[in-house]
Chains A and B, each alone.
Chain A
Amino acid sequence: MRFTSVRLQNYRQYRDVTLTFGASSGVSVIVGKTGSGKTNLLNALTWCLYDEEAFGAAEEATRASRKSNKGMPLANIGPLGEQLQQGPLECVVELGLVDDDGRKAVIRREAAYVVNAEGVPERQGGSQLSVLRQNGASGYDRVEDPDHWISRRLPKHIRPYYMLNTERLNQFFHQGAESKRVRQAILEIAKINTLDRMKTRLRQVRDELLSAVGRSDKGGLLEGLENERVELDHRIEVLSSQIDSKTLNLESLERQMDALNDRMGDVDKASKAIADYNGVRERLQRLDEELEELDERMYSRLVTSAPAVLCYGAVSDLVLKVDEAWKAGRIPAPIHPDFVQELLNSHLCVCGRGLEADTIAREQVEDLLERHREASQLGAFLQAQRGPAAVLRRRAVDLETDLEPIRLDIRDKETQRDGLRKRLEVLEQELNALGVEDDLFQVLKAQWDAAVRQRDALTAEIPRLESKRESLQEDLGKVRKNIEREMKRRSDQQEHYKLLEFAEQCLAAVDHAHSELITETRLEVSSALNDSFLRMIWKDQTYVAASIDQDYGVGVEMAKGYDAAADLSGGEDVCLALSFSQALGRVSDFDVPLVFDSPLVKVDDEVKVLVAQTMLKNLNGRQLILLMKPDEFGAVESTFVESGVSSVVRIEFDEAAQSTTVVI
């Protein structure tokens, strides 16, 4: 890459200046007095590229200036004050260059300034960066990401080593974080950043994989599922074993029953015959009981009537005799006792006064009356026998008739009983034919009944167990699906582990390559540094080597063996810085122009030529832009001329116009 020109508009003391850099020898010299704007030219370049002025006044002064100007370090306010009062002022720096592929490009950064209400100018918003890149013959295209485009070609990390202001160098390699910047510069020039990015990406991949692996671990879910599956398997196995056992039992039972059936003949038929037989026998037993009851009724009736039957003749005679005695008057009619008493007291008296007491006559009369009264009582008794006698006679005569319904009932039931007995005989014959009476049959029958009960129990239990097993198998199916899912997840996890392992291996390889490359680059840069430094330095008896150690510290080894980097003089320090920059340039794949401000100011005149020669010798085709004071340039002008350097531009600060101009 080569810078071809830089145009500055309203930048510091530059009103509108364009500087072109010679292309013939690759070395351009811009000569100007102190305050002419050399360092601000360098600042214009860094502002254009990185939006910062790297070489302002001293750090503190720069900060103070920025503070007082309220963020206006750039614009050349003094001479543009009136213009600012009229409206916004555009500050622009345009850097023209030729890319490594030979295409031209323009980097443009601009910022607007206004005067605020207090009359103080301030920047309006941020700066705008744009890159236009030549697109064949048709013109220029706008680059979409100009910052990225610049960082790929002119990494900011190496800016301190290709844009140097030697006037402001002070223990350049011994500042706080210098070794880190040295390392960063070496990394950049070796394009090790690519490896760094690979490492970063690989680390990201690894972290993502680690995260994925972490997500895949469901806290022992698989182990839980496996345990559940094993338990379900076990339970199903137990159930299956039970079912098999019971099925075998059932089969065995059925075989036993077949065998029993063979031995018993037709058991169902026999059982039916037995049931019929028992039914008939029960009915017969009931009939016997009913007959017995009827017999009891008949006997009771008979016993009750027996006296009437046996004495029937006497009873009949009694009635006849009573009738005859009554008719013959042998039975007196009943006399009322009051009538007898009245008769004794009043009517049984010849003289009308009645019979006297204690007389024979009266005793005879009273005796007569007494016998008559007893006779009349007997008569009454006998007369009263007609009714009971009739009942007795009827009972005796009607006994047959009374017993007849019972007899009929008995006959009917006896007929039934006979029929049942015959039926019972037939059934007994059938049972005998079937061998039911046989003791062996009874034993077999008992076994059969027990087997039927057992079979019924088993046939009821087996479906229940099968249903339970089906339920468990459903559960097992679900668990197995879960396990499959988990196994797949584990498989993915294994894949992740493999990828992770691969990423780790890649990372290690890249790390190793990175380490080797950076070490190699460091050693190359160190060697180039040593070469340049020893050429520049005139104390070849004092300083024997310059190097970059493994901690990226830049050191200068003295003949006595200790590091003198911290003790270098200002000029020696400049030599070391320039040597480092050129070493980076020699080793670097980046074709970055070197821009040195006042490179020889701190160096004695005797040494200036030596340093200039070394610089020119070590260019290796790189562009070198030197911003030099007139006396500085004068000391080495002949050396430059001898080396073919023809591009020399002189600038001056016009105090009247308060701006820098180019002197042709």
Chain B
Amino acid sequence: MAQRDRVYIDGERRGEFETLARRMGGVDNKDAFLFAMSYGFAHGMRKPFRDRYGFVLSKYFNEEDHCLMAAVAMAGRDEISEDFSMDEAYGIAEEYARGGIGLLREQLADGVEFRENLSIEVLQTAAGLAISERSGDATE
């Protein structure tokens, strides 16, 4: 199971990724990349790109990060097939990150309450998850 040594972002969006990392409280590239990917995935925004810019080395991803990218990659399929690979998962993650950063572009603009908006959205989503989790537990 071959694996790339890095993930790429759209070179044209590099500044926005850096802005995102800063607005997220000074996180590193890996967290900015995963957030952009998650955001694009959550909003169903996947966008291929050509200008590939190496943004995060694979070695910085831990098991949970790989699991997250694998889950995103599997989400578009009905079932797991033998041809799944992490390279493919990287590629899908890169496209969702590209889509996510595109959505966040307006949020990252000056004067926008990025932090509040992000918090609200994440917390609302988390609250929904908690509710469904509790109701699921209750059903079980």
The answer to whether A and B come from one shared complex is yes
Q: Give the interface of A toward B (CB within 8 A).
A: 296, 298-300, 302-315, 317-318, 321-322, 324-325, 328, 330-331, 371, 374-375, 377-378, 381-382, 384-385, 387-389, 391-392, 396-397, 399-401, 403
Query: Which A residues touch B130, using CB under 8 A?
Result: 397, 399-401
Q: Is the CB of A330 within 8 A of B80?
A: yes
Query: Which B residues touch A385, using CB under 8 A?
Result: 66-67, 70-71
Q: Is the CB of A310 within 8 A of B64?
A: no
Q: A307-B38, A377-B1, A388-B64 are in contact. Are A302 and B123 (CB under 8 A)?
A: yes
- Minimum CB–CB distance from B120 to chain A (whole Å) comes to 10
Query: Which B residues touch A311, using CB under 8 A?
Result: 38, 41-42, 68, 71-72
Partner of B71, one of A300, A384, A389: A389
Query: Which B residues touch A397, using CB under 8 A?
Result: 126, 129-130, 133
Query: Which B residues touch A391, using CB under 8 A?
Result: 64
Partner of A309, one of B63, B115, B126: B126
The dominant DSSP class at the B interface is helix
Most chain-B Cβ atoms within 10 A of its Cβ — which of A307, A313, A328, A397? Answer: A307
Known A306-B39, A310-B125, A318-B67; further 12 A-B contacts with Cβ < 8 A:
A306-B38, A307-B68, A311-B71, A330-B81, A384-B63, A387-B63, A388-B67, A388-B68, A389-B67, A397-B126, A397-B130, A400-B127
Q: Is the CB of A315 within 8 A of B122?
A: no
- A391 to B, closest residue via Cβ: B64
22-63 of chain B: CB within 8 A of chain A: 24-25, 27, 31, 34-35, 37-39, 41-42, 63
Query: Which B residues touch A400, using CB under 8 A?
Result: 123, 126-127, 130
Kindly state the separation between the CA atoms of A324 and B78 in the bound complex, as whole angstroms. Answer: 11
- Minimum CB–CB distance from B43 to chain A (whole Å) comes to 9
- B40 to A, closest residue via Cβ: A310
Q: Is the CB of A315 within 8 A of B67?
A: yes
Q: A330-B81, A388-B63 are in contact. Are A302 and B70 (CB under 8 A)?
A: no
Q: Is the CB of A318 within 8 A of B126?
A: no
B106 within 8 A of A: no
Partner of B64, one of A303, A321, A374, A392: A392
9 A-B residue contacts at CB 8 Å? Answer: A302-B118, A310-B122, A312-B125, A315-B71, A381-B70, A381-B86, A382-B84, A396-B126, A400-B126
Kindly state the separation between the CA atoms of A298 and B122 in the bound complex, as whole angstroms. Answer: 12
Q: Is the CB of A315 within 8 A of B68?
A: yes
Query: Which B residues touch A313, using CB under 8 A?
Result: 75
Query: Which B residues touch A388, using CB under 8 A?
Result: 63-64, 66-68
- Minimum CB–CB distance from B84 to chain A (whole Å) comes to 6
Q: A303-B31, A374-B1, A375-B82 are in contact. Are A296 and B25 (CB under 8 A)?
A: yes
B79 within 8 A of A: yes
Query: Which B residues touch A384, using CB under 8 A?
Result: 63
Kindly state the separation between the CA atoms of A391 and B65 in the bound complex, as whole angstroms. Answer: 11
Query: Which B residues touch A303, using CB under 8 A?
Result: 24-25, 27, 31, 35, 118
- A381 to B, closest residue via Cβ: B1
Q: Is the CB of A314 within 8 A of B72?
A: yes
Q: Is the CB of B66 within 8 A of A378?
A: no
Q: Is the CB of A382 within 8 A of B80?
A: yes
B7 within 8 A of A: no
Query: Which A residues touch B68, using CB under 8 A?
Result: 307-308, 311, 314-315, 388, 392
